Amino acid sequence: MVLFWGVLMIAIVFTVAAVVIGREARRLDAVPPNPTFNIDEAVEWVADRLPFDVSAVLSHGDVRQIIDWNLEYFRTRGVSGNGHSADVEGPVVVGGAETVDYVLHRARATGVDFTPSQVHAVLDAQMSYLEAIGAVGPEAPEDL
């Protein structure tokens, strides 16, 4: 009789655990994953996708520096943060010549000589990386 109650208790505990785990698994499955930017992974990913003429000139350290300056630019525009920065009202648009100019300005200020085409290639590959990890969405409609 004691064996019966012991088996019954184990069955009840197992059933409750299975229901709770199943419910949580379904809940987590419905929530999109939170993309996480990893600088080392980003540098490798970007460097592997640069055109040959750019990758022949830039080191991984150069790629990392350009990405760092681009992220700095994003922070100044309120695009990126660690979850503790103030929310920005309305849409924020970054990209193109303005971003390249910012990186080139920072490079010149530190005595580094990158060309616009090198910076543009790194930033294009970085944007592809951000899209691949789900950190950016599609382009905003023209009417915004």
Domain boundaries, the chain: 1-31, 39-132
Q: What is the pLDDT of residue 140?
A: 63
Residues of the chain with pLDDT under 70: 32-33, 79-95, 137-144
Name the pTM for this structure: 0.67
Q: What is the pLDDT of residue 45?
A: 93
Q: What is the pLDDT of residue 120?
A: 93
Mean pLDDT estimate for the chain? 83
Q: What is the pLDDT of residue 5?
A: 86
CB neighbours of 140 closer than 8 A, spacing ≥ 6? 91, 93
**Rounded distance between C-alpha atoms, residue 114 and residue 100, angstroms:** 10
**Rounded distance between C-alpha atoms, residue 22 and residue 34, angstroms:** 21
**Rounded distance between C-alpha atoms, residue 135 and residue 35, angstroms:** 5
